[in-house]
Amino acid sequence: MSWIAVGALALVAVLVPLGMIAVSWLLRPTVPEDSKRATYESGEIPTGGTQIRFNIQYYMVALLFLVFDVETVFVFPWTIVYQSVIEDFGLVRALVPMLVFIGTLVVGLVWAWRNGAVKWARSVRVADPSGNVEQ
């Protein structure tokens, strides 16, 4: 009997967004213009193509940031309750799981370092110390 309520809720959760999309599609104004399809760059005239290649290094740095940012989410609360956990469970049972966790993160950082994930790629155009630009 309780599954009927779950099914009804799921049906409403699907039908309401689909209904909103359908109504907005029916009511929207259609004014075909070529300028609507142009690339918009903050009011500036677009230069170059839209299919540019980003350096994969940006994504690697972002992923490493997420990994070590999530790590702080786990370590910070542990440090807050550390004293009471030592009193309840003892030093070894309180410290070993966190040391294993941090050790795993250190191994991941060493792996990323050795594979060059934290080493920034050099550009094709590099300026030498005298100010001349090399190609």
Contact 118, 64 (CB under 8 A): yes
- Specify if 5 maps to a domain: no
The Cα 96–Cα 8 span in angstroms is 48
pLDDT digits (tens, 9 = 90+) for 64-120: 888 888 888 888 888 888 888 888 888 888 888 888 988 998 898 888 888 877 777
Which two three-digit tokens encode residue 20?
A: 């909103």
Q: What is the pLDDT of residue 8?
A: 93
The Cα angle at residue 73 between residues 70 and 77, in degrees rounded to 5: 160
* pLDDT for 14: 97
Q: Residue 37: inside a domain, yes or no?
A: no
6 assigned to some structural domain? no
For residue 103, give its domain range. 56-114
pTM: predicted TM-score of the whole model, two decimal places:
0.47
Percent of the chain with pLDDT over 90: 19
Q: How far apart are CA 73 and CA 76, in angstroms?
A: 6
The pLDDT assigned to 30 comes to: 80
Number of structural domains, the chain? 1
